[in-house]
Structure 1
Amino acid sequence: MGMRVAIVTESFLPSLNGVTNSVLRVLDTLAAEGHDAIVIAPTAPSGRHNGFRVIRTPAIPFMQFPVGIPNLSLQATLAEYKPDVIHVASPFLLGGQAIAAANRLGIPTVAIYQTDIAGYLQRYGMQFARPLVDKMVAAIHSPATLNLAPTPESAAYLVKLGVPRVAIWGRGVDLDLFHPHRRAARLSKIGISVGQRAPGSITSAEPLTIGFVGRLAPEKQVHKMKTLFGIPNTRFIVVGDGPERRRLEADFAGHPVTFMGALRGNDLAEAYASLDVFVHFGTEETFGQTIQEAQATGLPVVAPASGGPRFLIEHGTSGYLADPGDPASFVNYVTRLAEDAPLRSRMGVSARRSVLNKSWEANNALLLEHLSHACRFTSLRT
């Protein structure tokens, strides 16, 4: 028998980010498995998605994000829908209210920790508020029936705050959409075979393409890409949009950088396929979904040895974990990959292999188990 799942999310379409992407994939799984759902979110392009009803809540801007605010209708909406369980994605003000309302209604909740709010505050020069934010995170997550964190590090953070009932649930990746065959097809169009670039050389006619995919916001630290511009015979691609785009375009002017804007679906997959090396500079990533997408495409990744990337990249095998405090570390690792085509190929194969057990189907099958477990746990307590 199918479950009735209310998804309360702090981010939804048209916003494109890790929270939105994860929610969309959860909805795909619920539809495929015959479950029913509603979505409650601060933004929504229409009243339905994938056949499910979408309810838009009042919102205010906060740190360049639309943030859902508590409202009187939320508990009434949940009571009317009568969900078996509430999936709360990256809970903040709206999610916190949903968890509190669910407890009053006797409905189990699964809270998904996805955003390092405390880290973002430091990035935005508001580190003085960290103790208050830590208390707020604990207050939001502690009443949930079950809390899911994407990595052991983020799970440990919640436990340190005193949050009970914490388990690990990562993120999946579309292994069919993001695939090395797209890269082979792209190279064949320009007359290059995969692995054809001369080893030990970065002077081939076709420049090496280095790229980043993600939201263009301060916490992603994309401005650090500029340190790589001195590597010979390279060009750069930036995929994504956000408040930093204009500043980055001005800062990168005069360099071989193409800004492609926000992409989805096949266009996004083709963008990954146009790369030889994927780079990521953000040090506050709780996970790093675009890293997995690059790995599925068969790309070596260079990212900071901080946060989520440490649990996705096997240093020296599927990519490199650079010292986040040393710009030369990124330059050295990317140069090493630029100069050694066989190394790029080996790491690309290892990168793809590292995510073969992380399909969205497998990932969300585990989520459904967690949702069912939350329902059983609540029934045992009542």
Structure 2
Amino acid sequence: MSMKWLFLSNEDQIRGGAQSCCKEVAKAAIADGAHVTFACLRENPYQDMADAFPSMCTVTMVDRVEPRSLRPASLKAAWRVLRSVRPDVIFFANTPSPNFFSFLALSKLAGVAHCVVSFGTDVEMPAPLPSRTYIGGWVRGANLWRREFLVSASLAYKFMTLGLFNNDDQMKNWRAATGYPERVSKLWNYPVDLSKFRQSERLRREVREEFNVGAGDVVIGGVGTLNAQKSFDLSIRALRLVLDRVPGARLVIAGDGNQDALLRLSAELGVRERVLLLGGRDDIPRLMNGFDIFCMPSTHIHESLGIVYLEAQATGVPIVVPDLPGPRRVAQEGESGVVVERGNPEAFATAWANLAADLPLRQRLVDAGRANVLAFGREHVYRGLLREMRVA
């Protein structure tokens, strides 16, 4: 008998790894004969799934649920969804802090067999949350909302049957902060659709022509939101340093966000003509074929994995990653990628220059990266997830 999966999505999961994770697991479940429902708060980023699988996938909008509360209105709204869908499995990705307390708290009463939570972004327990106004606006809560949050999270997450973590540091820190037992805490691989990311000489020529780069130019590519966490300003600083050793170096970055600060910095450093900011793109698998080196120089501890590093490996592009637990895991501690000191543009520039000059090293990293990313393939990850749930 096929299972019913309920995927939960809040406003923090409109883009990025959390959404990608849910979609890939859902696609694997659908291929396995399951019916999938996405319950979305406020916005719906999953309509494409319903359109692609009209008989196997449903999207429903949920009102009056505060995802980090056990208050009556949230419990009542969650109960309506649970009784309507009657899922065997609840799945969601936490980002950036524990979510969906009401669904977890009611799961056993609703007959849900498995509550699976992917701890998607944070390596450490979230920082203190802001206070809110209490007692009709007369009294400012003395961090009362955070206290309510922690108590509610502790109660709700007792019903989690499987917690999935991206790296050992993340799992250790969250278990220490929350008391999640070892038996429900597992290291796992974020699923990637490997069929989308393939090396193609035709696409390489096409994309590099679009970039207007010469045959001898070295394209350092990056993909990610233009925010402080991704730290693409470091890439621009590293570009300025590497040009002395690699005159043909070019930097290409694709991602949503305000470009003004990066454009100003590139102009100040005299590398404006060497930097191409593409904005948000929906053809990332194609673009990656134009890169010689991939780098996203994140400095934030919340970078718990970095799916784009895996996508670059699947495309046959060597990766340079910051010394953070998640990216370090993708690079296999240097076996399938170069690991450098985070926040240090000189270290990134040196790594880029070494790769530009050493074609055998680049090929070795490409081969190791392709082997590494196989463990993150959608079907492989899904089967492993079923084994952990003991339903395979």
Q: Normalization by structure 2: what TM-score?
A: 0.77
Structure 1 residue runs of 4 or more that deviate by more than 4 Å after TM superposition: 58-62, 91-94, 117-122, 131-140, 187-192
Instruction: Kindly indicate whether the alpha-carbon contact (under 8 Å) linking 2:238 and 2:345 is maintained by their aligned counterparts in 1.
Output: no
Q: Secondary structure at the match of 1:353?
A: helix
Aligned to 1:236: 251
User: Do residues 28 (structure 1) and 23 (structure 2) align?
Assistant: no
Report the CA distance shift for 1:24/1:205 in structure 2 as closer, same or farther (over 3 A): closer
Residue in structure 1 matching 2:374, options 356, 378, 381? 356
TM superposition shift of 1:138: 5.3
Instruction: Kindly indicate whether the alpha-carbon contact (under 8 Å) linking 2:123 and 2:304 is maintained by their aligned counterparts in 1.
Output: no
User: Do residues 88 (structure 1) and 92 (structure 2) align?
Assistant: yes
Give the residue type in structure 1 aligned to 2:8. V
Report the CA distance shift for 1:135/1:274 in structure 2 as closer, same or farther (over 3 A): farther
Give the residue type in structure 2 aligned to 1:366. G
Give the residue type in structure 2 aligned to 1:101. L
Report the CA distance shift for 1:11/1:171 in structure 2 as closer, same or farther (over 3 A): farther
Instruction: Kindly indicate whether the alpha-carbon contact (under 8 Å) linking 1:12 and 1:20 is maintained by their aligned counterparts in 2.
Output: no
Aligned to 1:197: none
State how far apart, in whole Å, the 1-side matches of 2:264 and 2:66 are. Answer: 25
TM superposition shift of 1:329: 1.5
Instruction: Kindly indicate whether the alpha-carbon contact (under 8 Å) linking 1:304 and 1:321 is maintained by their aligned counterparts in 2.
Output: yes
Give the residue type in structure 2 aligned to 1:234. A
Q: Which runs of 5+ in 2 are unaligned?
A: 68-72, 129-142
TM superposition shift of 1:9: 2.5
Aligned to 2:290: 274
User: Do residues 114 (structure 1) and 129 (structure 2) align?
Assistant: no
Q: Secondary structure at the match of 1:179?
A: coil
For 1:93-137, what per-residue CA distance to the aligned partner results, in whole angstroms no more than 9, with x for missing partners? 652222122144342311111121857759xxxxxx9x9788776
Give the residue type in structure 1 aligned to 2:59. V
State how far apart, in whole Å, the 1-side matches of 2:332 and 2:119 are. Answer: 24
Give the residue type in structure 1 aligned to 2:19. T
TM superposition shift of 1:249: 3.6
Residue in structure 2 matching 1:223, options 226, 233, 237? 233
Instruction: Kindly indicate whether the alpha-carbon contact (under 8 Å) linking 1:11 and 1:19 is maintained by their aligned counterparts in 2.
Output: no
Instruction: Kindly indicate whether the alpha-carbon contact (under 8 Å) linking 1:8 and 1:98 is maintained by their aligned counterparts in 2.
Output: no
Report the CA distance shift for 1:279/1:140 in structure 2 as closer, same or farther (over 3 A): farther
Instruction: Kindly indicate whether the alpha-carbon contact (under 8 Å) linking 2:163 and 2:185 is maintained by their aligned counterparts in 1.
Output: yes
Residue in structure 2 matching 1:76, options 68, 77, 80? 80
Give the residue type in structure 2 aligned to 1:8. L
Aligned to 1:6: 6
Aligned to 1:151: 167
Report the CA distance shift for 1:84/1:331 in structure 2 as closer, same or farther (over 3 A): same
Q: Normalization by structure 1: what TM-score?
A: 0.79
Instruction: Kindly indicate whether the alpha-carbon contact (under 8 Å) linking 1:224 and 1:281 is maintained by their aligned counterparts in 2.
Output: yes
User: Do residues 186 (structure 1) and 186 (structure 2) align?
Assistant: no
State how far apart, in whole Å, the 1-side matches of 2:198 and 2:273 are. Answer: 29
Residue in structure 2 matching 1:207, options 210, 217, 226? 217
Residue in structure 2 matching 1:101, options 106, 113, 120? 106
Instruction: State how many pairs are aligned.
Output: 346
